[in-house]
Amino acid sequence: MSETPDNVVQTVRTYIDQHRADFLDELAEWLRIPSVSAQPDHAEDVRRSARWLAAKLSDTGFTTVEIWETGDGAGAPAVFAEWPSGDADAPTVLVYGHHDVQPAAREDGWHTDPFEPHVVDGRMYARGAADDKGQVFFHTLGVRAHLAATGRTAPAVNLKLIVEGEEESGSPHFRDLVEAHAARLAADVVIVSDTGMWSEDTPTVCTGMRGVADCEIELYGPDQDIHSGSFGGAVPNPATVAGRIVAALHDEDERVAVPGFYDGVTELSAAERALIAELPFDEAAWLNTAKSHGTLGEAGFSTLERVWARPTAEVNGIGGGYQGPGGKTVVPASAQLKLSFRLVAGQDPAKIELAVRDWLDGLVPAGIRYDIVFGAPTRPCLTPLDHPALRAVAGAMSRAFDGATVRFTREGGSGPAADLQDVLGAPVLFLGISVPSDGWHAPNEKVELDLLMKGVETTAHLWGDLPAAVPAAAPQR
Amino acid sequence: MSETPDNVVQTVRTYIDQHRADFLDELAEWLRIPSVSAQPDHAEDVRRSARWLAAKLSDTGFTTVEIWETGDGAGAPAVFAEWPSGDADAPTVLVYGHHDVQPAAREDGWHTDPFEPHVVDGRMYARGAADDKGQVFFHTLGVRAHLAATGRTAPAVNLKLIVEGEEESGSPHFRDLVEAHAARLAADVVIVSDTGMWSEDTPTVCTGMRGVADCEIELYGPDQDIHSGSFGGAVPNPATVAGRIVAALHDEDERVAVPGFYDGVTELSAAERALIAELPFDEAAWLNTAKSHGTLGEAGFSTLERVWARPTAEVNGIGGGYQGPGGKTVVPASAQLKLSFRLVAGQDPAKIELAVRDWLDGLVPAGIRYDIVFGAPTRPCLTPLDHPALRAVAGAMSRAFDGATVRFTREGGSGPAADLQDVLGAPVLFLGISVPSDGWHAPNEKVELDLLMKGVETTAHLWGDLPAAVPAAAPQR
């Protein structure tokens, strides 16, 4: 798969080699700021992290750099930066990342201080090294390498960055932020750098994420727990009803049995199924990552297809009656269910909610009252395999990886990226160089420094390649 | 239904009228002892209560009175008393009751001190007035009235009493006690005075209780809660499996769907169904007592048949995954179920346990590990409607109630009475004069004094009637 690097590849690599040490020193400086958004006593650190990044983006050359408050100042700030191309027909790219990190403490099992970066064997260990500071920060060196390789003074694309500060807290203000600044964020392509690739040896681009709709169901039976000897077998039991609802979620082929659930689902093409089948999937290793002891899912689909491209219904929580030690012979007064539905392209969360409500109504017997409350849904996002921006990302990545074939993955989870697709109406691509062993949210998180440089290289090429691939459509201000 | 009272009835009533005031004073004295077995700081009160009763039974004329320790002295004591007939062919009767009471505190809603008995409008209010001191104590006046009416110096039956001190704490040592003293407790008939009757206007005798077998099921999936986006839809979810187990408990007719569950069940006869149907059952009032808002149960049976005479499966508790506020998108690591099965005559708890284990094993998919643990079962007990002892009890009660028709009920719950049937091999009859409004386990518990005297009258007749009805079979020592 290797080929002789062309001149641009060589120029980019030379530039990166010259700046790698400084780049890593600066990244380490950023990683020393414990920007833990979930912990109120780190709120000022998150603000400091935003200011640090803003200053660094100005140094890099971004002509506009702003710190955007969220939640009327009650949330953690995001950083917005913009560097116009100057070319009339240049497409606009919006890069998404986040500067907050997961909590970390030495006693959780870290071998070294999580906020004192530590390089061993080509890996930098620190909280946020991969998720997501390292992957945000490669864009600074990437755009400089792009300029160096092309001799330009501004990028060939209108480059925008939005780096939020609350991703590890569930992005509670992100949708509002995007809606409030939709005009400023307008783009032809969104590049999310907050994911990973298949493995060190298999560069991949993620093409979509599942959406999610979740609900809580409360079932009410007797006014209080009642004696199951005196009354059991003659009155409806809300815990039994909860179980029956759970059982009715799926048919015997493990397909979701809510009528209308699959309406509009974008089915996997034969071509994409073939590409997924070609990935070097090791079920035992996957089960180990899943900490699970067996596979079970929709008949007719592989494990990867099930988690990437098929909608699901999952029981996240169930409770009712006596849960303490020993037994207690009661008919419980109430029972609760927390369900979530992962959605794929073509499914509309609003229609799913209606379908679930109708389905539930037919399952609850007389004598049981129920409430159902849905949370704010996240839409699915998916970019078709033949989308020119996706081909451009894959091509740039292939150059960075010495001509290796770039494969395609999807992400089973759901994230704020869908808000960008939703509000901005732009395709979302996922460019990440993290690998499964990086330990996101775990002790001893690290990033592979050679892969980090591959991220730099990929963007250096991508900004040069995109103008030919993607026509400008986003309104320029 | 009324008839002219015969001489014996009149003699008994006269005797009771003469002794009623003293009897009630003595009962009040006993009720002042707060023999709350569930509260360790009342342990000495429970012992005092046993000593008080033992002394009173000696005064009454019982020739043997003993205090029996339980749990090697760690439990609360029971009182045993015996008064042999002296007649060679006299049958032996064992009366069961308990001298401990439920907790009670003024602030729970009592209008007066729960341990300072208080008579208003023919009702005595106090903790234990109905459950069970009043119903134990009527046997003291009952046997004296029997002697007065018959001119005997010893009862016409060999009369034994076993009055335990831990019933309100779940009778943890009762089975052991009965097994240890099986020879002393041997009887031809067991009379349990710890229940009630249908209503003030409808005297009834209870003919059986359901048994119960209960189990806890623990289901283990992933080694920890895992992300439902990354893995959901591809691995088995223990909360989903818990729901499917619950749903599989019953068929669409609400019959228990565990194979073999109904094997051996003693079906209701057409005669007993007709008698049950004649009871003045008010569904709205029953639902009010059940604090429930609808009926649901095995097709083809009425509500009373369902709770009295049909075996059931009930979910007492269910839990798994995230049960806090809001949502959390996990596939839970584990889920738990607490199930109980009410059993009727003809069902063997050991066989039910095996049937449930087999059934469960077929429901748990690969990748889910499970444990199932059964508690100690309680057997069902049932005395056939044509049993001569039952006819004798109904006849005695009818005389006490001025010739009213005595009807038959059953009790849906399960209790230590089954241990007596089980160990002693004697039929168990339930003679109680409490009514649903007496407020067992609730504030302002009371007993209707006129009904209490009907209990006295009933036993006064019963001890005279039983020798002709029931042949002596229990070995005499």
Q: In the structure, what pLDDT confidence band is assigned to residue B321 with cuts at 50, 70 and 90?
A: very high
The two tokens of residue A197 are: 């690739």
Measured CA to CA, the distance from residue A63 to residue A177 in angstroms comes to: 21
Compute chain A's Rg from CA coordinates. 25
Q: Are B239 and A320 in contact (CB under 8 A)?
A: no
**CB atoms A246 and B248 under 8 Å:** no
Please give the pLDDT value at position A475: 57
**CB atoms B316 and A314 under 8 Å:** no
Chain B contacts of A366, Cβ < 8 Å? 293-294, 296
Nearest CB neighbour to A290, from listed B222, B287, B365? B222
Measured CA to CA, the distance from residue B98 to residue A378 in angstroms comes to: 61
Size of interface A-B (CB pairs under 8 A): 305
DSSP state of B404: P
Cα B166 vs. chain centroid, distance in angstroms? Answer: 13
Q: Are A247 and A170 in contact (CB under 8 A)?
A: no
Phi, psi of A82 (to 5 degrees): -145, 140
**The pairing of beta strand B312-321 with beta strand A446-448:** unpaired
Phi, psi of A251 (to 5 degrees): -90, -175
Q: Are A467 and A157 in contact (CB under 8 A)?
A: yes
Longest CA–CA separation in chain B, Å? 86
**CB atoms A296 and B365 under 8 Å:** yes
pLDDT 10s digits, B95-134: 999 999 999 999 989 999 999 999 999 999 999 999 999 9
**The pairing of beta strand A312-321 with beta strand A211-220:** unpaired
Nearest CA in chain B to A441: B227
Let me know the angle formed at the C-alpha of A35 by A29 and A39, rounded to the nearest 5 degrees: 155
- Single out the residue of A261, A299, A305, A246 nearest to residue A281, CA to CA: A305
The two tokens of residue B376 are: 């100690």
> Does residue B307 have a pLDDT over 60?
yes
| Total Cβ atoms within 10 A of residue A120 | 10
Nearest CA in chain A to B342: A229
DSSP state of A326: S
**CB atoms B249 and A240 under 8 Å:** yes
Q: In the structure, what pLDDT confidence band is assigned to residue B436 with cuts at 50, 70 and 90?
A: confident
Q: Are B332 and B237 in contact (CB under 8 A)?
A: yes
Average pLDDT, whole number, for chain B? Answer: 94
| Total Cβ atoms within 10 A of residue A106 | 13
Chain B contacts of A436, Cβ < 8 Å? none
Please give the pLDDT value at position A472: 79
Q: Given its phi and psi angles, is residue A267 left (phi above 0), alpha (psi -120 to 50 degrees) or beta?
A: beta
Please give the pLDDT value at position A134: 98
**Can you give the pLDDT of all 477 residues of chain A as single tens digits?**
333 447 889 999 999 999 999 999 999 999 999 999 989 999 999 999 999 999 999 999 999 999 999 999 999 999 999 999 999 999 999 999 999 999 999 998 999 999 999 999 999 999 999 999 999 999 999 999 999 999 999 999 999 999 999 998 889 999 999 999 999 999 999 999 999 999 999 999 999 999 999 999 999 999 999 989 889 999 999 999 999 999 999 999 999 999 999 999 999 999 999 999 999 999 999 999 899 999 999 999 999 999 999 999 999 999 999 999 888 889 999 999 999 999 999 999 999 999 999 999 999 999 999 999 999 898 999 999 999 999 999 999 999 999 999 999 999 988 888 889 989 999 999 999 999 889 888 899 999 999 999 999 999 999 999 999 998 775 554
Let me know the angle formed at the C-alpha of A48 by A42 and A49, rounded to the nearest 5 degrees: 90
The two tokens of residue B261 are: 């569950």
What are the residue ranges of helices labelled H in B254-348?
270-278, 283-289, 303-309
Chain A contacts of B380, Cβ < 8 Å? none
**CB atoms A297 and B233 under 8 Å:** yes
DSSP state of A62: -
- Single out the residue of B184, B136, B164, B192 nearest to residue B75, CA to CA: B164
The two tokens of residue B186 are: 């041997």
> Does residue B474 have a pLDDT over 70?
no
Q: Are B294 and A235 in contact (CB under 8 A)?
A: yes
The two tokens of residue A228 are: 């199951």
Which residue, among A318, A328, A337, A378, would best test binding to B if mutated, counting the most B CBs under 10 Å from its CB? Answer: A318
Fold that domain A211-265+311-374 belongs to in CATH: Alpha-Beta Plaits (3.30.70)
Please give the pLDDT value at position A415: 83
| Total Cβ atoms within 10 A of residue B109 | 10
Q: Which residue is listed with tokens 């068929």? A: B251
Measured CA to CA, the distance from residue A400 to residue A388 in angstroms comes to: 18
Measured CA to CA, the distance from residue A351 to residue A91 in angstroms comes to: 34
Domain spans, chain A: 7-209+380-469, 211-265+311-374
**CB atoms B291 and A226 under 8 Å:** yes
Report the CATH architecture of A7-209+380-469.
Answer: 3-Layer(aba) Sandwich (3.40)
**CB atoms A320 and B317 under 8 Å:** yes
**CB atoms B210 and A229 under 8 Å:** yes
Please give the pLDDT value at position A474: 56
Cα B76 vs. chain centroid, distance in angstroms? Answer: 19
Question: From residue B438, how far is each of A363, B25, B130, B163, B441 by CA, in Å?
Answer: 38, 20, 7, 21, 9
**CB atoms A338 and B316 under 8 Å:** no
> Does residue B29 have a pLDDT over 90?
yes
> Does residue B230 have a pLDDT over 70?
yes
Chain B: give the shortest CA distance to residue A217, in Å: 11
Chain A: give the shortest CA distance to residue B245, in Å: 8
